[in-house]
Each structure stands twice: as structure tokens, then as C-alpha cells.
Amino acid sequence: MEILRGTVLSEGLVAGEALVLSSGEVIIPDVVVKPSDREKEVARFRRAVDGTLKEINELTNATEGRLGDLTRMLGTYQSLLADESIINQVLEQIRTKRKSAATAVRQVIAGYVEDFRRMGGPLANYAPELEDLGRRLVARILGKELPSLDRLPRKVVIVADEITPMQALSIDRDKVIGFVTQSGSPESHTAILSRHLGIPAITGIENVASIVPQGASIIVDGLEGVVVLDPDKAMKQTYAMKIRRATRTRWQTTTISPEESVTQDGVRATIRCNVDTSDHVRELAAMGADGVGLFRTEFLYIGKAVPPDEKAQAKSYEETLKAFGSRPVIFRTMDFGADKFDARVDAVKEENPALGLRSIRLSFAREDLFRTQLRALLRASVHGNARIMFPMVTDAGEFLRAKAILEVVKSELKAERVPFAADVPVGVMIELPAAAIASAALMKVADFGSIGTNDLTQYTLAVDRTNGRVSDWYKPHHPAICRLIKVAVEAGLATGKEVSVCGEMAGSTRLVPVLMGLGVRSFSMAPPRMGQVVDRISRLTLPACRALADAVLASPDAEEALAVIDAFESRAVEERAPAPRKRRS
């Protein structure tokens, strides 16, 4: 048995058989073409281009009704196939240097891929599609078939260095139950599609396609970011129980009852869900959550040919608000930067984007886009219980600067006689150590706060949470993280304002007792985790949680803190039915 750790792209739990995909690369002998055969090679290349374009168009038509706007992922392929500079360089290699069509394609594409990756920024994001396009052209020239995911004999977990957009869009949804890859990011095509379809996905595992044997037994824990290879009997039994508890996928309706998220001694916890787009919001609303604790608005941009305008954004926000009715929906303004990059928002390459012009800083720099988004949010606000939240704020001054722009936008809409909710609550993400330390001042000016534990952990411990090489250092249970959370929660209590948690910690059944002990009473998480968190809370008592939190805070390091948490879990009564309880008035 081997346990591999990576980064979660899509939530969920599955166990099955591994299907390891090869890259599809073929060996091409570097031969010199006879002068008389050059035009034959040109013709082979042009047929490959036409055939590949036809294949893309057919895939678009076949999936558009099922996947909608996601088929626009294929637009990159179409653009690259229409790029005259690429076409002309391949033709020059054939006609001038007498390369075969396959060799010419391979060399030209390899050169572009290297250039794209070296330049970084938005161009680097196109490298995987360009590599895949090169493989497809070469395979078509040579009459070879690439690995296909549309006709699979049985259910499998796909293991690969990277899943290409064409592979991702052509998957057999009934047979592909999980993804495990070496490369990927939250805005990658695999991540977007897997979240859309409710398929658990984990990335950031180095050389995973070499580590995992073909057909191996594999467990994908898309809640904790763990892949278990060849699990032993005990591990299989443990996960069988976990999977039974989470039998529904993200978009299937598993209802929870807010009345059930009450501790044994009657302390109520609010359970909300995280949302990427307005897709499936009706199903999500039917699951019974107390609302949306985090709507990631930046995902409205990803996969689109052009940035969404005010009307398109307002429509998405309106759909979500209507679906949740009187329940609050917290919209985080666009949080671009670091692992979520869009060239249409900011095309400047930064050496260290995690510490660069991202999130609220980028909104200040691109106030035109920020104002458009705020106008859309305010337009939609009349359709439900909308709340607006600013990300990556460091102090009260930055928050007030962002709120001042919001007030200007309100004045503009009022002058235009556009209806909007004038009293929309405005909150702040507490996800930087500076914000947590300054939370007393922040909570005096903000209407509510939300602790983003992912970035709070990343910035406090100086660990890139998307880098598999340092994933062992990413420890949200670290006493320093818990202390910052406690400071922020106490700032909320002092001002009578809610401070919730919307990062990965909120959905961890192991860490929820710690958070309850630190004073957290509102949690927002990926939909599949809600039922498990409600169940966990119903088996807790507040004194036990407080004792646990105190022990974690008193721990000298992360290892001892984890030992304290593990000891708490080992003696927990989570398998016993909760005793009858009375709710506090």
C-alpha cells in the first residue's frame, strides 16, 4: 500500500481500477525527403490539419448540448490550427529542409511549446493544448490512434501526466469515475470539467503515471487530497464506509437539514456551500444548505471566448440568488492571480504571482472590470439575499477603498434609475496573516468576515499549496494557523459580526471540532462535504471542542497538534447515534 498526496481539483470519494494513459508520443525517424516527394508531404500535412479540425468540430457538436459553454475549451485548438505562422513554419521545414510532415510538425510544435513555457504568463497556459495538437497531427499523418476515453469497457480512474481538453470533453461519464494527474491547476480544463460533472480529481503528484501500475487498485480521496495505491484490507474497509456516506455526487440531490447541524449540547452551526458558477444551482439549493458562503466569481471568465459583460454576469448572479431565495449568497469579487490567471484581465508576467498584482489589488488596477462586476452584482441583488465580499484585503484602509468604489457604482446606478438593493452587506476575506492580525479594525468597518484557510495557511507557512513537492509542509492544523483563526473569530464576536470559514478546513471532519472550539459557528464547503460535516457536528459537545482547540493552540509544533487531533478522533463517539438533545433558545 502506498499513500500519495496532491492538490484537490474536484471534491469526492471513489475507489476503482487505474487506467494509466500514455502521452501518445510516437517515435519519428528523422529522414530526408526526396525533392520529388516534398509536395506529397505537404499534402499529408494539410490533410492532417483538415482531419483534426473536422474532429474538433464534430466533438464540439456532439458535446455542446451536454456541456454547453465548456465546449469553448476547444477554441484554443481551432485558433492554433488557423495560426498562419505555425502552418508556414511547418511548410518551410518540409519544402526547404526536406523534413517529413510528421518530423516538421513535431519540431515546430516543440519549439513553440518551449517558447510559451519560457515566456510564462498567459502563453504558458496554452502549452498543453499545443502539445496535444502536435500529437494529434503527427498521429493522423502516420495513421496512428491516440488513447481515447469515449469507449471504455468498465469504470476506471484515469491516471496521467495531464488530461488534455479533447480527452476531457470526450470522456465516457458513466465509466470515468476519477482523475489523478501530475499537472493541473484550479482553472485547468480537467478541473473545470471534473467539477462540472462531479468527478473527483487530484493533481500535483510527480511522475504519477510512472508510479501507478496499469490496472492497479486505487482510491481517490478528493476531500483530503490523498490517493491510496493498492490499499490493504483495513484501508479498503475504512474508505468503503466513507464512500457509502458520500454516495451522491456533487450535483445529485442529497438533502441536509439545518436543524441537524447542532451539537449534543445544543449549539447551532450554519452550513453553507461553495459555488464556482451558476450551473446546477437549483440542485445545490435543494440540498438544504443555509446558503452560499463563497461564490467564486472569477470562474465566470474561465472557458469563455471573451470576458463576461455586465449583462452576462448579472444573469449568472441572478440565477443563483433566485435559486436560494431568502438564504444568503456571498459573492467574492474576482480573485484572479497566482493559480487563477486570465490574460484578458492581466497579461503581465510576474516572477512571483502569489505575491504580485492579484485579487483586490488587480481589481484596483483594472477598475473598469471591477466596476462592471460591481454593477452586475448590484443589478442582481434585487433577486435575493446578496452579499459582496472583497478578497486578499490586508487592512481596513484597503477595504474602505474597495467599498468607496462600490458606493460610486451605486450612485451611477441610482442616477440611471437602475433598481438595486441599497443595503447589500459588504464583507471581507481574512486570508492573509496581516488581515487576521488586523481583524479587530477590519471587523469594525466590514459587515462580516470569512476566513479563507487555504491562502491563510499558504501565506503563513510559506508553502505553495498547488506544489506537490512541498505538500507535506502544507499543514492547516498548525498551531500558528489556529491562533490566527482565533484572533479573527474573537474580532467578530467583539463587534457582533459573523466570521465564517470557507477554506478546506471548513469541510474537514477532522478539523471541524477544532474550529468549533476556536469559536467558529459558520462553515462553507464543497457540496459533497456538507452531509459529513453536519453528521460530525451532531456528535460533538462544545466543552470537548474547546478543550481540543486549547490543546492544539498549546502544541509546540504541527506534529504534536496533529497527534492531539488524532487522539481526539480515536476516542470520538462518531459511530454512535447521537443522544437526544435539546436546542438552546
Q: Report in angstroms the alpha-carbon separations of 31 from 93, 100, 101, 103, 154.
A: 12, 7, 10, 8, 41
Q: Measure the CA angle with vertex 571, ends 565 and 573; round to 5°.
A: 115
Q: Is 288 exposed, middle or buried (0-12, 13-18, 19+ CB in 10 A)?
A: buried
Residues 6+ apart with CB under 8 A from 151: 172
Q: Report in angstroms the alpha-carbon separations of 6 from 36, 198, 342, 349, 439.
A: 53, 18, 24, 26, 31
Q: Which of 189, 280, 383, 478 is catalytic?
A: 189
Distance between CA atoms of 334 and 332, rounded to whole angstroms? 6
Question: Any catalytic annotation for residue 383?
Answer: no
Cβ pair 481, 453 in contact under 8 A: yes
Distance between CA atoms of 566 and 505, rounded to whole angstroms? 15
Question: Any catalytic annotation for residue 502?
Answer: yes
Q: What is the DSSP code (8-state) at residue 473?
A: G
Q: Report in angstroms the alpha-carbon separations of 412 from 137, 161, 371, 374, 400.
A: 52, 49, 10, 11, 18
Q: What is the four-CA torsion angle of 482, 487, 490, 496, rounded to 10 degrees?
A: -120
Cβ pair 173, 155 in contact under 8 A: no
Distance between CA atoms of 192 and 276, rounded to whole angstroms? 9
Alpha helices, H only, 26-185:
38-67, 75-81, 84-95, 101-119, 121-125, 127-142, 165-169
The number of beta carbons lying within 10 Å of the beta carbon of residue 91 is 18
Q: What is the DSSP code (8-state) at residue 500?
A: E
Of 301, 275, 276, 295, the residue nearest 122 (C-alpha): 301
Of 458, 448, 444, 434, the residue nearest 389 (C-alpha): 448
What is the grid cell recorded at 348? 503581465
SS3 429: strand
Helix (H) or strand (E) holding 493: helix 479-495
Cβ pair 524, 329 in contact under 8 A: no
Strands 448-451 and 426-430: parallel
As a whole number of Å, the end-to-end CA separation of the chain is 50
Q: Which of 273, 482, 502, 545 is catalytic?
A: 502
Of 403, 488, 498, the residue nearest 441 (C-alpha): 488
Cβ pair 24, 139 in contact under 8 A: yes
Cβ pair 157, 212 in contact under 8 A: no
**Residue 159, Cα to own-chain centre: how many angstroms?**
19
User: Which amino acid is located at 513 in the chain?
Assistant: P
Which amino acids are annotated catalytic?
Answer: 189, 502
